Amino acid sequence: MNTIAVIGAGTMGNGIAHVFAQSGYQVNLVDISETSLEKGLATISKNLDRLLAKEKISADQKSETLGRISTYTELKKGVANTDLVVEAATENLTIKLKIFEDLDKLCDANTILATNTSSISITQIAAVTQRPDKVIGMHFMNPVPIMKLVEIIRGYSTSDEVTHTIMELSEKLSKTPTEVNDYPGFVANRILMPMINEAIETLYNGVAGVQEIDTVMKLGMAHPMGPLQLADFIGLDVCLSILNVMYDGFKNPKYAPCPLLVNMVMAGKLGVKSGEGFYDYSESRKAEKVSSQFN
């Protein structure tokens, strides 16, 4: 593999593009928004600066990494002559199905189509293409440049050859690929999301406050981040979407989203990306924290 297209320049997309480019691959970063592409490149540059400051890369390596990334707002140009496409668009079934229908028509017959979905059925996505054997899940963890795990999800028709190719490719990115089968939530979110949902239920029922719940899980269970803080980091809308996929897929009430989560998403309290979730991430709150450090 030489050239990789990444669809979507958001948090996951720019992280995936970063990792591929730093590993020596030519990357076509595709997004319908030029502004999103600019922000994505700025994020990649900022993350490379952090590595540079820690002396994990050289200035030349930073320049070479950025030089391997080309940006496109037109899907047809962005995926032309690519060996692999990794879709990292928003976690919305309708959007993903449309993207894969288009990719199937625009990409070379041998191009592997991967999705970074965190819960949506690979089999369902593959069914809208004429190459279901070449459709696979590559579920990277956030933040992509740091987290080692990649869930490799086989759809019903994904071939052994494609699975082996993507497993090997993930290792070349210095990741640890783990093969799983195609069921709602896969492994990571099938275990993680019910825990987050239960933490929200615990808050909803008045058992304890946000800080207290997170402290119990951090200090008592050795979690690096409490479940409510983690939900904010993931995005409460994403958590809700994944829980709904699992609830619809299994028809089991244990996956039903907590009403508090539903209400917070409807109110636009989505976590870090909106400035407020279970915690306050607004600029005024950041200023208060900075001020308190000097008083």
Distance from C-alpha of 72 to C-alpha of 98, rounded to nearest angstrom = 18
Q: Is 11 annotated as a binding residue?
A: yes
Q: Is 96 annotated as a binding residue?
A: yes
Distance from C-alpha of 243 to C-alpha of 159, rounded to nearest angstrom = 28
Q: Length of the chain, please?
A: 295
Distance from C-alpha of 108 to C-alpha of 83, rounded to nearest angstrom = 8
* Residue 13 · residue 38 · CB < 8 Å: no
Q: Is 220 annotated as a binding residue?
A: no
Q: Is 269 annotated as a binding residue?
A: no
Q: Is 42 annotated as a binding residue?
A: no
The SS3 of residue 109 is coil
283 carries an active-site annotation: no
Q: Is 118 annotated as a binding residue?
A: yes
* Residue 45 · residue 63 · CB < 8 Å: no
The active-site residue, picked from 14, 36, 47, 118, is 118
The active-site residue, picked from 28, 121, 189, 197, is 189
118 carries an active-site annotation: yes
139 carries an active-site annotation: yes
Q: Which residues pair with 137 in a beta bridge?
A: 115, 153
Q: How many Cα atoms within 13 Å fall on the side-chain side of residue 111?
A: 26
151 carries an active-site annotation: yes
Q: Is 155 annotated as a binding residue?
A: no
Q: Which long-range contacts (CB under 8 A, 24 or more apart) does 216-224 make?
A: none
Distance from C-alpha of 269 to C-alpha of 201, rounded to nearest angstrom = 17
Q: 210: burial class by Cβ within 10 Å (0-12, 13-18, 19+)?
A: middle
Q: Is 12 annotated as a binding residue?
A: yes
Distance from C-alpha of 256 to C-alpha of 246, rounded to nearest angstrom = 8
Longest dimension (CA), the chain: 64
Distance from C-alpha of 194 to C-alpha of 204, rounded to nearest angstrom = 15
The active-site residue, picked from 139, 197, 274, 276, is 139
* Residue 270 · residue 235 · CB < 8 Å: yes
Q: Is 62 annotated as a binding residue?
A: no
Q: Is 10 annotated as a binding residue?
A: yes
Q: Is 91 annotated as a binding residue?
A: yes
The active-site residue, picked from 119, 121, 151, 274, is 151
The SS3 of residue 122 is helix
Name the binding residues for NAD(+). 8-13, 31, 91, 96, 118, 142, 273
Extract the annotated binding site.
Answer: 8-13, 31, 91, 96, 118, 142, 273
Supply the residues annotated as catalytic: 118, 139, 151, 189
